[in-house]
A and B are shown apart, each in its own frame.
Chain A
Amino acid sequence: MRIKFFLSVSVIILGLAAGIYFFRPHTFHGTVIQSPERSFDFTLTSAQGDVSPSDFRGKIVLLYFGYTFCPDVCPGTLGNVAQALRDLGAKADEVQLIMVSLDPERDTPEKLAEYMDHFHPSFIGVTGSKEQLDEVASLYGVYYQKTEGSSATGYLIDHTATLLVLDREGYLKLVFPFGVTAKEIADDLKYMLRQ
């Protein structure tokens, strides 16, 4: 009787441990935001016309702020997102990346389209007036400032390098810091796509 009891307890403990492991809550790599309000919606211009995050309700929207002359930070992050989307396979169709240019002087919609296409065919680049970009960047917590570059690069733009994730309903859900890897992005996106 006693052996039977201990065997039962052992089986249950093992089962529970396995259950906790397989059904443990997902630990996000980004910082989770619990905003009760939809994130700020805006309309900026792409080579294909006006674009707003709300155009993609039902999809997960990744928002990134950068510029095409960006020497290292932007290509690194965009490359990681492109790799993450390839890891998602067919599910990548349910994710849309929008890069808001912080360089309205040099980044035309056409130039942005060409640049974004180097990373992934679905990526969209948008721009607008300085006033529009100031507003959008500020409300997404993105600071940016023109700084001196070299004669080869021209001026540079220092900017907050976070990658923001809006859920299918348009709520800001995650903030990835600069340096997040393709695998970490893919892990969190896969979890969100299952929701």
Chain B
Amino acid sequence: MSKTFFNAVYIFAAILILSVFAFKVFQPIQVLPRMRLAPAFQFTDQDNQPLTSETLRGQFVLYSFTYTHCPAPCYNMTETIKEIQSRLGEVDLGGIPVSFVTISIDPDRDTPEVLKVYGESIGADFTQWKFATTSNKGLLKTIVGAGFETYYEDKGGGNITFDPGYVLVDGWGVVRSEYRYSTEVSDADRILRHLGVLAEEVRNSTGSSKLAYEAAHLFLCYAP
């Protein structure tokens, strides 16, 4: 083998290694990890209509958890959700619908009627924002506690302690992000950015682009 041949091999090998390194460092494509399957459920919404995980397929869904008797100062997810809802136009969603589902962790008191009054009192737009409850307390614990990995516990006397947060689920029913701690960037800004990242991945989920996006998952190019 000539010296020229080996020089060329070294150059190409260096280019290849640099390309992989650049992909990892500069992360030209960002994705959200596919963390786990979201739990399946059948709840009742504020209008006494069934709300199931199956009917939400094909949409991006932001789940939140609360109870209407939560004493002040209760974690205020209302303003965050309303801000996201009002700013959805800033994100290119490619026509993929977004829903907000707030699951009550107090099924004894939060009947659909109570949830409806609560939703109206905070000015919720029920076409996009559903409030969910169920009479099956055991299964609720499975769904919220084990499925959405959101801790809550009935302390008695009408008090429930819980870890507030949001869980973002994609159209395939896969958990893609969780928001449990405050960061310098507001929850609304992060969630809106993540909705854009998800929509971008859906748009590029076929052909050669799919390979690049799967590589981004492989190289852990996760959007902050």
Contacts and interface: CB of A to CB of B under 8 A. Distances in A.
A binds B: yes
Contact of B2 (A8, A27, A140, A143): A8
Interface string A77-100: 000000000000000000000000
A16 interface: yes
B36 A37 contact: yes
Contact of A33 (B9, B34, B143, B214): B34
Interface string B7-44: 01100100010000000000000000111111111100
Interface string B186-224: 000000000000000000000000110011011000000
B18 to A, nearest CB: 14
Size category of the binding interface on chain B = 35 or more
Contacts of B33: 34
Contact of B218 (A25, A36, A134, A138): A25
A18 interface: no
B2 A25 contact: no
A34 B175 CA distance: 10
Given A139-B146, A141-B39, A141-B53, A27 B4 contact: no
A35 interface: yes
Band of interface residues on A: 35 or more
A27 B4 CA distance: 36
B37 A141 contact: yes
A131 B141 CA distance: 13
A193 interface: no
A13 B13 CA distance: 11
A138 B142 contact: yes
Nearest to B220: A34
A interface secondary structure, majority: mixed
Determine which residue in B36, B54, B174, B217 has the highest number of CB atoms from chain A within 10 A of its CB, and name it: B36
A5 B8 contact: yes
Contacts of B143: 138
B4 A34 contact: no
Contacts of A140: 37, 40
Given A12-B9, A33-B34, A140-B37, A135 B52 contact: no
Interface of A: 1, 4-5, 8-9, 11-13, 16, 25, 27-28, 31-37, 39-40, 131, 134-135, 137-145, 160, 164, 172, 175
13 contacts: A11-B5, A12-B5, A16-B12, A25-B215, A35-B36, A40-B146, A138-B40, A141-B40, A143-B40, A143-B42, A144-B40, A145-B52, A164-B37
